[in-house]
Amino acid sequence: MNMQPPSRFGSGSAQMPVAFDRREMSQILSVYGRMVAAGEWRDYGISNLRETAVFSIFRRTAEHPIYRVEKHPRQRLRQGMYSVVGMDGRILKRGHDLRAVLRVLERKLIRAVDLD
């Protein structure tokens, strides 16, 4: 007889929350660190939910996030599981390769340090 405790994620499934792995976090924090050094961003938050992992980026602490980097594993065979979402909820970039998706944020870095 199976004596496992009930899962907090519903009907007997032992599904773990979605999270960014070490490689993904390294890529995200690389961009984040450059934007902090440029004085554009100041804080971040990470949420590991049942179907989504979210890295929220803040200009100041206790504000609404200006960007969210999201990981949706269920979308990996469709549009791609990574997306960058703007403050207004629009998807700025979506794809299968996290590094390519993060480039939309790096373009903002080039503008942030432009001396013209």
Residues 24-82: tens digit of each pLDDT: 999 999 999 999 998 889 999 999 999 999 999 998 776 789 999 999 998 888 889 99
Structure tokens at 99: 């590094």
Instruction: List the domain range (segments joined by +) for residue 96.
Output: 22-108
Work out how many domains the chain is built from and give that number: 1
What lies within 8 Å, CB to CB, of 50 at 6+ separation is 9, 15, 17, 18
The band of 111, judged by pLDDT with boundaries at 50, 70 and 90, is low
* 32 domain-assigned: yes
For residue range 76-102, list pLDDT tens digits in order.
Answer: 888 899 999 999 999 999 999 999 999
Whole-angstrom distance, CA of residue 18 vs CA of residue 53: 5
What pLDDT, on the 0 to 100 scale, is given for residue 5? Answer: 47
* 97 domain-assigned: yes
What pLDDT, on the 0 to 100 scale, is given for residue 18? Answer: 92
Which among 86, 76, 116, 99 is positioned nearest to 25, based on CA atoms? 99
Q: Where are the alpha helices (DSSP H) in 1-116?
A: 22-37, 98-112
* 115 domain-assigned: no
* 15 domain-assigned: no
pTM here is: 0.78
What lies within 8 Å, CB to CB, of 56 at 6+ separation is 44, 45, 46, 47, 65, 67, 68
The band of 12, judged by pLDDT with boundaries at 50, 70 and 90, is very low
What pLDDT, on the 0 to 100 scale, is given for residue 4? Answer: 46
